[in-house]
């Protein structure tokens, strides 16, 4: 084959001629597709002229509220979700989380004998105005029973006793609470005690509390199950769970009530219907009945109008991406964690996926290396996103292929 140059001989002209001659014999050039495949088509596609979802039933009186999808952490509706509120006894969910985490780490055991100290009894026992478990002063009880006394009866005394057993003092335990809160991802929360009584340095937000409830259910389901117990007896005294929804709706299995003069009546609730779970938070209501009514209305609304879908599984190829200077010429991208999305019912087929990936990807590439991201949009708004990772390693090619790819990359970049 002859080369014919019609202009002055330059490196660029030589590159053009060489590329036109050799590219047909080298399987290196490929189209870079930056749009991942559509998720599977919904079983029930959206009907034409779909009616808009009605607004969520905002609580009659509340300082902040929201309803969240458990699987995705997506807030379906809410108001003042990031404004500071007093968490009251919902604080005990954080206390329970820390106790469960320390137990999982082997630092405490369910059959540990926990002391109801004089401090715990005086500050949180029956002689106070707050809720109490009923364990006698200076008595001991298994850690699991003390947890139930805190979860079911909302015992301030049990919360303090658990804090002292786990960390030596309630002050040290509060530091643990804040450390775990940061690990969970609570950004606007600070705990000063284990029980939730009012303190200037004790605060959270409806959003953070929902994230806490979600983490508790996900990470420690056995400890979470204590919150569904309807009544518990200590020292001959039987007390009911203060969460009225446990009696009103069989799908509700938690989570925690709260009340004091500064916080009003509060409720963090969760329910599971089929494969879908929701978390609702209502803060600053004016009665036990109202917080229960408002919470159930939010849960019913969320279940009625939203559905959760798993779009991509870990290890499932989402899209191939061109690789330069590698032994192979493309790498499959996927997600490291399941990618889920919550959407209005009937809108699944309207989801639009897209990818953001580097313009040039050069070997070597490690398996699991983060390459870009996948985003899922509905009506132009991103509703879910996740990092994209390489599903396999790509080793560096030999000298001549790397040289050839360097030439092609130079040509494409010009």
CB count, 10 Å around CB of 29? 13
Contact criterion met (CB below 8 Å) for 334 and 391: yes
Max Cα distance, the chain (Å): 103
Residue 23 has pLDDT above 70, yes or no: no
Tokens of 402: 């790397």
Domain range list for the chain: 12-37+318-413, 64-305
pLDDT band at 403 (very low <50, low <70, confident <90, very high): confident
At 196-250, the pLDDT tens digits run: 999 999 999 999 999 999 999 999 999 999 999 999 999 998 999 999 999 999 9
Q: What is the pLDDT of residue 32?
A: 44
Tokens of 277: 């779970």
Residue 51 has pLDDT above 70, yes or no: yes
**Mean pLDDT of the region 260-286:** 96
Q: What is the pLDDT of residue 10?
A: 40
At 351-362, the pLDDT tens digits run: 999 999 998 888
CA distance 368 to 177: 32
Comparing 10 with 69, the larger pLDDT belongs to: 69
Residues 6+ apart with CB under 8 A from 24: none
User: What is the C-alpha end-to-end distance of the chain, expressed in Å?
Assistant: 27
pLDDT band at 37 (very low <50, low <70, confident <90, very high): low
**Mean pLDDT of the region 269-294:** 97
The residue length of the chain stands at 414
CA distance 40 to 351: 10
List, as own/partner pairs, every contact residues 48-55 make where C-beta atoms lie below 8 angstroms and the sequence separation is at least 24, other chains included: 50/346, 50/347, 53/305, 53/344, 54/301, 54/305
Among the ranges given (27-31, 59-63, 182-186, 344-348), the one the predictor scored with the smallest mean pLDDT: 27-31
**Mean pLDDT of the region 65-91:** 97
User: Between 3.40.710.10, 1.10.3720.10, 3.30.300.30, 2.120.10.30, what CATH number should domain 64-305 receive?
Assistant: 3.40.710.10
Distance of CA 163 to the CA centre of its chain: 26
Burial, 84: exposed, middle or buried (Cβ in 10 Å; 0-12, 13-18, 19+)?
middle
The architecture (CATH level 2) of 12-37+318-413 comes to Sandwich (2.60)
Tell me the whole-structure pTM to 2 decimals. 0.83
- Positions marked catalytic: 89, 92, 154
Residue 74 has pLDDT above 90, yes or no: yes
Nearest to 114 by CA among 161, 77, 82: 161
pLDDT band at 273 (very low <50, low <70, confident <90, very high): very high
């Amino acid at each position: 084959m002859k080369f014919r140059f019609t202009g002055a001989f330059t490196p660029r002209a030589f590159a053009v001629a060489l590329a036109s001659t050799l590219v047909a014999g080298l399987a290196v050039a490929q189209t870079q597709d930056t749009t991942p495949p559509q998720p599977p088509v919904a079983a029930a596609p959206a009907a034409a002229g779909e009616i808009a979802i009605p607004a969520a039933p905002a609580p009659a009186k509340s300082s902040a509220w929201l309803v969240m999808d458990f699987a995705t952490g997506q807030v379906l509706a809410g108001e003042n979700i990031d404004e500071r509120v007093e968490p009251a006894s919902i604080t005990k969910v954080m206390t329970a989380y820390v106790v469960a985490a320390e137990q999982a780490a082997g630092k405490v055991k369910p059959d540990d004998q926990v002391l109801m100290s004089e401090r715990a009894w005086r500050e949180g026992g029956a002689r106070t105005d707050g809720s109490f478990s009923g364990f006698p002063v200076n008595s001991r009880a298994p850690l699991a029973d003390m947890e139930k006394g805190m979860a079911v009866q909302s015992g301030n005394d049990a919360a303090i006793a658990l804090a002292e057993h786990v960390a030596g003092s309630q002050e040290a335990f509060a530091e643990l609470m804040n450390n775990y809160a940061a690990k969970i991802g609570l950004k606007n929360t600070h705990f000063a005690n284990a029980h939730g009584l009012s303190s200037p340095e004790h605060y959270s937000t409806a959003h953070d509390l929902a994230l806490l409830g979600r983490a508790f259910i996900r990470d420690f389901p056995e400890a979470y199950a204590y919150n569904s117990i309807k009544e518990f007896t200590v020292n001959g005294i039987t007390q009911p769970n203060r969460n009225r929804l446990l009696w009103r709706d069989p799908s509700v299995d938690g989570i925690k009530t709260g009340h004091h003069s500064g916080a009003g009546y509060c409720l963090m609730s969760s329910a599971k219907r089929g494969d879908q779970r929701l978390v609702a938070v209502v803060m600053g209501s004016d009665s036990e009945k109202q917080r229960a009514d408002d919470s159930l209305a939010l849960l019913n609304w969320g279940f009625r109008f939203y559905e959760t879908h798993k779009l991509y599984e870990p290890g499932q190829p989402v899209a191939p991406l061109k690789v330069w200077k590698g032994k192979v010429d493309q790498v499959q991208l996927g997600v490291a964690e399941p990618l889920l999305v919550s959407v209005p019912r009937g809108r699944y087929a309207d989801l639009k996926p897209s990818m953001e990936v580097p313009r040039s990807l050069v070997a070597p590439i490690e398996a699991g290396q983060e390459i870009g991201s996948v985003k899922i949009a509905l009506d132009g708004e991103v509703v879910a996103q996740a990092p994209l990772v390489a599903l396999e390693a790509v080793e560096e090619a030999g000298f001549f292929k790397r040289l050839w790819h360097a030439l092609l990359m130079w040509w494409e970049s010009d």
